[in-house]
Amino acid sequence: MNPKVDELLRHTEKWREEFEQMREIALDCGLTEEVKWRNPCYTLEGKNIVLIHGFKEYCAFLFFKGALLKDKHGILIQQTENVQAGRQIRFTNVEEIIKLEAVLKDYILEAMEVEKAGLEVKTDKRIETPEELQQKFEENPTVKTAFEGLTPGRQRAYILYFSNAKKSETRTARVEKYTSHILAGKGLNDK
């Protein structure tokens, strides 16, 4: 048990009991416990396997390479249509977690085997930079440099958000609104 996770759980109001149960399951599988992205994260030889996180309506195990799991119980959920690799198993109460403990351990063990085998999720990298963002890069090369310094996931989130607007004016307005975020090295939803 990692003392940083102990501290994190001490300050967790919603989902504390569920997090503690999920933590026990992950540790029983022999994973190393860390804190990443302000959440308990469980790794195997430095590679991320599963993360515990909570939302307003549910808490979840997030499997980083969940798309590669067999999901023989049909319980893995793709968080949003743009998430390519990760999959969640969601819970609304601790009883659900206790009831599924053996199944959850099986999924974690399978995720560990996927990592040991070195398998990678084939992602669709074909994503075009919208013209309005490209124009901003030409006007201000500093924005391009800052954008290229973001993680691929953050870059993708911005591109998808900008591209989803139907009108060029809306895409331009979105690019303008988030230029300061990009320059600060922040993701679309970072504060």
Are the C-beta atoms of 111 and 102 separated by less than 8 Å? no
- The two tokens of residue 130 are 């919208």
Alpha-carbon span 107 to 38, nearest angstrom? 23
**According to the model, what pLDDT value does residue 124 have?**
66
pTM of the predicted protein model: 0.70
Give the pLDDT band (50/70/90) at residue 1. Answer: confident
Kindly state the average pLDDT of the residues 93-104.
97
Q: Tell me which of 76-85, 89-98, 103-112, 164-173 is least confident.
A: 76-85
Mean pLDDT of the chain: 93
Domains annotated on the chain, with CATH: 3-116 (3.90.1150.200), 131-183 (no CATH)
**According to the model, what pLDDT value does residue 49 have?**
97
The residue type of 112 is M
175's CB contacts (< 8 A; 6+ apart) are 130, 132, 133, 136, 162
| pLDDT one-digit tens code per residue, 112-133 | 999 999 988 887 666 788 999 9
Give the pLDDT band (50/70/90) at residue 183. Answer: very high
